[in-house]
Structure 1
C-alpha cells in the first residue's frame, strides 16, 4: 500500500509561492504512481491480486459463517470443523504444481530440520483449528471473529521475541487497543450469549478463542523463523510449498483425531439429524473446506504479490465484514458494547497497519 505524505499546514514564514492546489497535486502524484506501478507489472499480476483480495474478503467470512451454521443446525463435533479447516489442502497443491511448470522451478529439497519444522507447524495448526472450533461452538460468529482479531497482538509479540521483528510506538499502541477491545467483549458477555449456551461454556469459548489466536500468532512467527533460518529466502513458491506441507500434516493429525474420537463414523448419523437435511449437511462441510482454503490462498498471494501492509488492511476489513454478515444472516446480537469493541478493534488494526508501513519504508 502506498501512503500519501501528510500535507503540512502553512507556516507564517512560508513563501507565497506554495501552490493553492496542493491537494490536487498530491492526487495527481498518487495517480501517476498507480499508473507507473500498473505498467511495471503484467496484466496477470493484477488479475491474480484482485482475485486474492476477493478471496480473502469473501472466503474467510464465509468459512466463519458456515462454521456457525453447522452448530446452529444441530452439528456437535469440534473435530469435524477443525478437519474441514484443512481438508481443502489439495487445492493449494493443485495450484503449486502448475507454478513449478510455468516458472521452470524444482521443488525445494527436504532435509531433516525442514521436515521436522513442517511436522511441528502442522501439529500446532491442527491444535489451533481445534481451539477455534470450540470457540465457534460456544460463541456467536460476530463475537468469535472479534476475539480472533487478537491474533494480531500475539503475532506482534511472538514476532518481536522469536524473530526479532522491529516494534514501534504504533504497533505497541495497537496491542493495547485490541486488548482493550477484548476486555469490553468479555465484560459484555451477558448480551450475546445464546440461550442454549451456559455461562461456563461461553467462558470456555472465549478462552479457546484467545488461545487459538495465541497459537495463530506463534505459528506465524515460527513460519518466519523457517524462512530465515532454514530456507534463507521467501518467495511465492516457497510459501505455497510450506502451506501445502503444513496443511498436509495438520490434515493427517486432525484425521487421526477424527478416527480416534469416532467422529468419522458419526458423520453419517449427524447428517440425518441435521436440520437442513443430509444434502445441506455435506454442502456446509464441502463449502467450508473450500472457502477456508481459498481464504488462506488469498492471504498468501497478497503478501507476496502486494505487501504485508495490504494483507493487514484486508484483515482489518474482514473482521467487520464477518461481524456484519453474522448479524444479517445469523441474527447475531449486536449490543452497543460489541459495536464499541468493533470500532476499537478497527482502530487497533489501523494503528498496526500504520506502524507496519513505517517499518516497511525504513527497511
Structure 2
C-alpha cells in the first residue's frame, strides 16, 4: 500500500469516526433536525381538527383520571364510608359516554352495531367484571393513600401484558418482559415500606387488605382489557371509534346495573342522607364529590378511548405512565400523603417499567408493519 492510499484511508476513518461520534455537536444537531423534520411532516399529514381532538383527549386522560382517583380518596378522607357508593359513582356517569355516540352516528352516517346473543353475553360478563373491579379499587382507596393506590394500580400493565399473551396471543419481547419484572419489583418495594405511608387511623390489617384489593383490582383490570380485545377480534372484527364507544357504553351500563343492585342490597342509598350530613364541609360538598367523581371518570374513559383510536396504544401507554406520578404528586400536595424515599424509588422504577413496555410495544408494532 502506497503512502497516498494510506493517507486517504486514515482520512476516511477519521471522517467516519467524527460522523458516528454521538457526542459531536454536529451529529446531535443533525439528529435534532431530522426529528424536527419528521415531526413537522407528521403534523402536516393531519388536519388541525385532528390535533385539537388529540390534545383534548390527552388532556382528559392526564387530568380526569387523576382527579377521579383523588376524589375517591377525598370521599373517604372527609367521612365517607361506603365502598359500594364510590364504586357506583365510577359507572353512574355512563350516560355521558352514550351522549357522545348520538352525534357520531349522524356525522359519520353509521348505524349502531347489531346486538347478537354472544355479543350481549360478552357485554354482560364484562359489565359484571367491571363492577367487581370498581368495588376492589374502592376498598383500596378506603385504606391506602392516593399516591400508594395509584402506584399499585399501575401493575395493571403487567397483568394486561400477561393476559394479552395467554388470551389474545399478543407477542411478548424482552422489553415487555423487562417491564413486567421492573414494575413487579416496584410493587414489592411499596410492600416492604408499608409502615411509612399508613395513616394513623388505619390498622395494619386494613392496610394489608387495601394493598391486596388494589393488586387484585389491577389483575382484574388487565383481564378485562384482554377480554375486551378478544371481543373485538372474535365478535366485532373491526375497531372504529364508534364501536369502541359502544362497547364502553354497554359494559358501563351493565356494570351500573350490577353495582346498583349491590348498593340496594347493602342499603347504602338509604345511608347516603346520614352520610352527607356527617360529611366534612357539609352536604353540598358531599354531592359535589360524588357528581364530579362520576364526571371525571367518564371523561377519562372518553379521553383514553379517543387516544387509542386517534394515535396508538403506545401513546396511551405514555400518558398512562405520566398520570401515575401526576396522581402521586397531587396526592402529596392535597392530602399531605407521606412520600418516603422508598416510595420515590418505586415511582421512578414504575416510570422506567412503563418506558420499557412502551419501547417494547413500539418495536412489536414496527415489526408487524
Count of residue pairs brought into register by the alignment: 353
Choose from 151, 157, 160 the match for 2:165. 160
Q: Deviations over 1:126-164 (max 9, x none)?
A: 000000000000000000000001000000000000000
Matched, 1:179 2:155: no
Deviation of the 1:229 alpha carbon = 0.4
Matched, 1:339 2:344: yes
Deviation of the 1:16 alpha carbon = 6.9
Deviation of the 1:12 alpha carbon = 5.2
In structure 2, what is the equivalent of residue 4 of structure 1?
none
Choose from 207, 210, 213 the match for 1:205. 210
Choose from 227, 231, 237 the match for 2:236. 231
Bigger shift: 13-22 or 78-87?
A: 13-22
In structure 1, what is the equivalent of residue 362 of structure 2?
357
Matched, 1:285 2:285: no
Matched, 1:73 2:72: no
Alpha-carbon separation, structure 2, partners of 1:282 and 1:362: 50
Deviation of the 1:13 alpha carbon = 7.4
In structure 2, what is the equivalent of residue 146 of structure 1?
151
Distance 1:18 1:188, change over 3 A: closer
Choose from 89, 104, 115 the match for 1:110. 115
In structure 1, what is the equivalent of residue 9 of structure 2?
none
Choose from 132, 142, 150 the match for 1:127. 132
Larger Rg: 2
Alpha-carbon separation, structure 1, partners of 2:19 and 2:184: 44
In structure 1, what is the equivalent of residue 318 of structure 2?
313
Alpha-carbon separation, structure 2, partners of 1:35 and 1:207: 47
Matched, 1:27 2:29: no
Q: CA RMSD, aligned part only?
A: 1.4
Q: Deviations over 1:165-209 (max 9, x none)?
A: 000000000001000000010011111111111111100000000
Alpha-carbon separation, structure 1, partners of 2:59 and 2:298: 13
Alpha-carbon separation, structure 1, partners of 2:363 and 2:290: 41
User: What's the TM-score, normalizing by structure 1?
Assistant: 0.95
Distance 1:334 1:13, change over 3 A: same
User: What's the TM-score, normalizing by structure 2?
Assistant: 0.93
Deviation beyond 6 Å, 4+ runs, structure 1: none
In structure 2, what is the equivalent of residue 301 of structure 1?
306
